[in-house]
Amino acid sequence: MRDVDTDQRTKTRTETKTERPKLHKVILLNDDYTPREFVILVLRAVFRMGDDEAYRVMATAHTKGRTFGAKYLN
C-alpha cells in the first residue's frame, strides 16, 4: 500500500473590502435675504448646474420653501 501524504498546505486569502463613501444631501432653504440671482450663481459655480437647471432648483426652493439640491461625497 502507498503512503498517503497527509501534509496538505492550505493558503488563506484575505480580501480587503472597501466601503462605499457616504453621500451628503444638499438642501436649499428659502430665505428673505439671499437674492435669486446669487442662488443661481452659486448653483452654477459650485454645483456645476446649467442655467435652466439652476433656475428650476432656485424657483422650487422659492415657491416650496426648500428643495433637494444634490447628493455629494465628503
Q: Residues 8-46: pLDDT tens digits?
A: 677 777 888 888 878 888 889 999 999 999 999 999 998
Grade residue 52 by pLDDT with cuts at 50, 70 and 90.
Answer: very high
Cell reading at 59: 424657483
**pTM (predicted TM-score):** 0.64
Here the CATH number for the domain that contains residue 64 is 3.30.1390.10
* Structure confidence at residue 63 (pLDDT): 94
Q: Answer whether residue 54 is part of any domain.
A: yes
Strand-pair partners of 26 = 70
Total domains, the chain: 1
Q: Answer whether residue 4 is part of any domain.
A: no
Q: Answer whether residue 69 is part of any domain.
A: yes
Query: Three-state DSSP class for 48?
Result: coil
For residue 65, give the amino acid letter. G
Cell reading at 58: 432656485
Full residue range of the structural domain in which residue 54 is found:
23-73
* Structure confidence at residue 10 (pLDDT): 75
